């Protein structure tokens, strides 16, 4: 049984083959190095989602069969429906990633849309498409719950 402590990166950072960003002493927020870090992270995430969409299309073409038994046919249709719903969510996420990559190009990335403060590197690594700081997002969710009532 190994006793050495291993440092595992999970999630999007691991997908992109990146380590958590370490700010250098005196480094400006959203420096060119940070923007490149997030560009790589978002690009890897977008590419992975696009591969999933392609894989689903090929899977559905390969699995399409005309089952004589209505139960088998219904099960296959339900499976396809779930896959299509998942892919639709992924397509929306790809659009959001594209929008975020555009914000990086426009030098408008990393700041809250509501109040203008820095969102923070760690929050952006966890949720790279975030466009609100945690406080503004929390308040927006509270208001939304109150309106739903």
pLDDT per residue over 62-77, tens digit each?
Answer: 776 666 777 777 888 8
| Enclosing H/E stretch for 6 | none
Q: Closest Cα partner for 21 from 131, 121, 126?
A: 121
Residue 81 has pLDDT above 60, yes or no: yes
End-to-end alpha carbon distance in the chain: 53
How does pLDDT run across 1-56, given as a tens digit for each residue? 444 444 444 588 888 888 999 999 999 999 999 999 999 999 999 999 999 888 87
What pLDDT score does 42 carry?
Answer: 97
């Amino acid at each position: 049984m190994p006793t050495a402590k291993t440092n595992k990166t999970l999630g999007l950072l691991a997908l992109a083959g990146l380590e958590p960003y370490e700010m250098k002493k005196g480094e400006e927020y959203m420096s060119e190095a940070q923007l490149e870090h997030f560009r790589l992270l978002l690009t890897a995430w977008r590419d992975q989602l696009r591969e999933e969409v392609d894989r689903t299309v090929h899977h559905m073409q390969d699995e399409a069969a005309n089952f004589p038994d209505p139960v088998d046919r219904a099960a296959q249709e339900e499976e396809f429906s779930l896959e299509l719903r998942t892919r639709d969510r992924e397509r929306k996420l790809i659009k959001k990633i594209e929008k975020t990559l555009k914000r990086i190009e426009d030098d408008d990335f990393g700041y809250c849309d509501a109040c203008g403060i820095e969102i923070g590197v760690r929050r952006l690594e966890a949720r790279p498409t975030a466009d609100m700081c945690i406080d503004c997002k929390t308040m927006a969710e509270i208001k939304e719950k109150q309106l739903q009532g």
